[in-house]
Structure 1
């Protein structure tokens, strides 16, 4: 993977240049920026092309590499627990910041409409649970239903542990080859990252318009501020506490994935790069990266959770509704719970916002006042989602490695 590391290193400055030049190009040449959208779409499509086979193969190889259900249980419980913790902390931070700053003023709901909110079906716990289970795994693979693909690949990998050593070896060799082939293709796509980033950023700036962005600058600054605080303070603190490593050094090692998440606004599209940089630059074992990151790309939503809390409290202010402490606690609990469950449903963030607004009695049409900058903020919240995935992966890898060394030492002493 020496070539891949060299490719990543050479693109660092070019990615940053692509972001800056793309923003300027979109602002000063909007018609051209809109016309060249196909370049960015092709880049994202190439990344997404790799996701399903990479997720399936990487999870299989990770679980087969762990060898026992005991190690899988420890890693799985630790992963889910950390993802819930980071999401809860992002929600708490958003609530505190919004109560301290208190931005927004009450506005009339007359003439405000957001038709898409009324097209969303009511949230159902039963539908959520059924959404995790693939009734036709080939349809799930075809449609890119990530949660269903993950559930099936985990069960499939566990079943392989009960096969003979001969068959286990054959299957592990096959899926290791598939995994390596997908990562080789990712190496090729990575070389296109600066051009893809330029195209995506230019289109977003031209499509949204600078005037719209400036009109909601206070709201945007609060959302971005919460995201930066969580990404640069809360998450690094967790890594330093649990893993005992320098979190900022690690962030520097995996920054390519964070920058790519910002430009694509897609955790799934960023997944191939996240796996690569965490393994080959961040020093994470393949078993940890292959299991924790695909799961995180589906259920870890720190950025989305923080964004939703700020948006809902901002909408409450616009609607002239003062939420009590109990209401805000309920809001936080709801966001944390839905961040895992709604991931199996399409348009997850919009579904979550509508569900939350309906639950606390706020009109969903107020979404129409903030939806204009949603695409811009989506880039920031996705970059935080991916940052959280990478940080949790590092914690899980370090702690499980220490645990395995401790067990090995006990066995030797016994």
Structure 2
């Protein structure tokens, strides 16, 4: 264990160095930074390559490992409840922050239009529910549609509990081998992390520029402050309350995964790294991590929920619309509900923001004012999403070990 911790500590140091050098490279050599984007894209592609077989096999193995439907129902309900709790607390922190330090003076916006908004189909709960169910599992696997894959893998795992024991054992051995092989490949990819991070960060800095960041520094700082508060206060408090362990020691041990999430801005691309790190240095049982983390990468969106709450209130201030306390409460409920449900849809964050703005009668045109720094904030909120997943995984693991779940 000490050797593994030392290995990840070395990787973390190299990754942080990659971030620093990437920022400097993006600032002082922007043309070169833009030209080397392919290196970062190759790195992300390697990670995404692992996601579908890893999610399918890990969900299947973990469900069959539970042994019966009662255990699946009990643990599944508690995991989802924990994810909803962390998301709700993130939204609450965002609402409180925006009321204590309101941002945004009234700005007139004419002629601005966010093109992607008009391309998206209208949201409905019917389409959301239907998007969970795969009409063709092979299509879902090829497209990497996570919610349909998770639903099918869960049903497949439950069905396997009802076949002959010998056949069940053969399938479990096969998918366990698949999962282990994917995690070994993930270990190889982890060695490329410093190079991949350097490429991704330098491209973002060169592409976004610093002028845009300076112009929206108050808004940017507010979002980052709320995300930071949730990461270092709320989540550690929950981890200590439920598991009675030192939360900061655990978060320090698994920091490789949030750093990776910040660099890639993708919870799914980070999933192979999250699963390996949380097992090797976080002390979480593989069976528990295999169930909790793939589900969390799909439905847990603490950072996204906090960001959307701040963005909505910021746009309301810019457009001169003051939301009442009741409307802010309704906003919080809407964000929590949508963060769980809309994750299966493409452009999830954009869909959620458009739905919320329409719900409160706020102009979509104001999205154009904040979209410039969205990539940077996307990296930060994804890091928080992954941190929340890792905290919930540890809570569930500790509670199971103590037989409290």
Size of the aligned set, in residue pairs, is 405
Q: Are residues 1:191 and 2:206 paired?
A: no
Give the drift of 1:403. 1.5
Q: How does 1:246-265 map to 2 (within 5 A)?
A: 246-265=246-265
Deviating beyond 2 angstroms after TM superposition, the runs of 4 or more aligned structure 1 residues are 1-10
Cα distance per residue 1:352-372 (max 9 Å; x no partner): 000000000001110000000
Asked if structure 1 preserves the Cα contact closer than 8 Å seen for 2:54 and 2:179, the reply is: yes
Distance 1:172 1:6 in 2: 33
In 2, are the aligned partners of 1:284 and 1:394 still within 8 Å (CA)?
Answer: yes
Structure 1 residues 62-141: aligned runs within 5 Å: 62-141=62-141
191-200 or 319-328, larger mean C-alpha shift: 319-328
Q: 2:69, 2:158 within 8 Å by CA — same for their partners in 1?
A: yes
Structure 1 position 4, deviation (Å): 6.8
Equivalent residues of 2:227, 2:381 under 8 A apart: yes
Written as runs of structure 1 = structure 2, the 5 A alignment for 1:372-387 is 372-387=372-387
Separation in 2, partners of 1:7, 1:52: 27
Q: CA deviation at 1:115?
A: 2.0
In the aligned structure 1, how far is the partner of 2:197 from the partner of 2:28? 17
List aligned pairs for 1:225-240, cutoff 5 A: 225-240=225-240
Q: What does the per-residue CA deviation read over 1:287-311, in whole Å, with 9 as the maximum and x for residues that have no partner?
A: 1100000000000000000000000
Is the contact between residue 261 and residue 267 of structure 2 (CA under 8 Å) also seen in structure 1?
A: yes
Structure 1: which 5+ runs fail to align?
407-414
Give a deviation string over 1:314-346, Cα, whole Å, max 9, x none.
000110111111111111010000001101100
Q: For 2:233 and 2:386, locate their aligned partners in 1 and report how far apart those are by CA, in whole Å.
A: 15
What stretches of structure 2 of length at least 5 have no aligned partner? Answer: none
Q: Give the superposition deviation at 1:2.
A: 9.6
8 Å contact from structure 1 (residues 57, 179) kept in 2 = yes
Q: 1:208 Cα shift?
A: 0.3
Q: Cα deviations across residues 115-159 of structure 1 (Å, max 9, x unaligned)? A: 221222111110000000000000000000001101110111111
Alpha-carbon displacement from aligned partner over 1:229-253 (angstroms, at most 9, x marks no partner):
0011000100000111111111011
Q: Does structure 1 retain, via aligned residues, the 8 Å contact 2:90–2:302?
A: yes
Aligned counterpart, 2:161: 161
C-alpha distance after superposition, 1:57-95 (max 9, x if no partner): 111111122222222112101100000000000000000
> 2:61 touches 2:175 (CA, 8 Å); kept in 1?
yes
CA contact (8 A) 1:7 1:187 kept: no
The answer for the alignment partner of 1:397 in structure 2 is 397
Contact 1:14 1:194 in 2 (8 A): yes
What is the aligned-residue RMSD (CA, Å)? 1.4
Note the C-alpha offset of 1:111: 2.9
Per mean C-alpha deviation after superposition, the further-off stretch among 294-303 and 278-287 is: 278-287
What is the CA–CA distance in structure 1 between the aligned matches of 2:116 and 2:362, rounded to whole Å?
A: 16
Q: How far apart are the structure 2 equivalents of 1:277 and 1:384?
A: 16
CA positional deviation for 1:162: 1.1
Q: Is the 8 A contact 2:4 2:281 kept in 1?
A: no
TM-score by length of 1: 0.96
Residue by residue over 1:40-62, the C-alpha shift from the partner in whole angstroms, topping out at 9 and shown as x without a partner, is: 00000000000000001111111
1-side partners of 2:322 and 2:65: how far apart?
Answer: 52
Per-residue CA distance 1:91-121 (angstroms, 9 max, x = gap): 0000000000011100002232212212221
User: Residue in 2 aligned with 1:342?
Assistant: 342
Cα contact 2:132–2:148 (8 A) shared by 1: yes
Q: Is the 8 A contact 1:265 1:379 kept in 2?
A: yes
Partner of 2:361: 361
Q: State how far apart, in whole Å, the 2-side matches of 1:398 and 1:250 are.
A: 12
Matched position secondary structure for 1:108: coil
CA distance in 1 between counterparts of 2:246 and 2:74 reads 24
Partner of 1:209: 209
